[in-house]
Amino acid sequence: MYEVMIEEEFSAAHALRGYRGKCENMHGHNWKVEVYVRGEQLDQVGMLVDFKELKAATRRVMTYLDHQNLNELKPFDIEMNPSSEHLAGFILHKVAEEISDDRVNVYKVRVWETPSTCATYETTS
């Protein structure tokens, strides 16, 4: 099994509804995102996925989030709190929609709020 990972960053604000503490108030982060893909089969060049294609797919998702109030964006406006955990799952599913190569499985996303705190969402397939 081969694995490839890229990193991207975006800046955004959020507030955690129902949380008791400072994070219930609007605040911002410079988020770092790691996107992991895996697969068994390499292409004719010997790559699982071109780094630039994976970065471009991830950037398209980051564009939706960058410099936004996450609480005002779907699905974080009503359906779910914009926690790091929910954000990791959201990003994974959106990046997976952007990748059209059946050989590649977007299976893990790690979202860093700070240099020492992160949340990870990983699929079982």
Q: What is the pLDDT of residue 24?
A: 87
DSSP 8-state symbol, 108: E
- pLDDT tens string 20-68: 999 889 999 999 999 999 999 999 999 999 999 999 999 999 999 999 9
Give the closest residue to 63 by CA, choosing from 95, 16, 34, 37.
95
Say whether pTM exceeds 0.75: yes
Give the single-character DSSP code of 66: T
% of the chain beyond a pLDDT of 70: 99
Residues 68-73: what's their mean pLDDT? 96
Does residue 124 surpass a pLDDT of 90? no
2-122 belongs to CATH 3.30.70.20: no
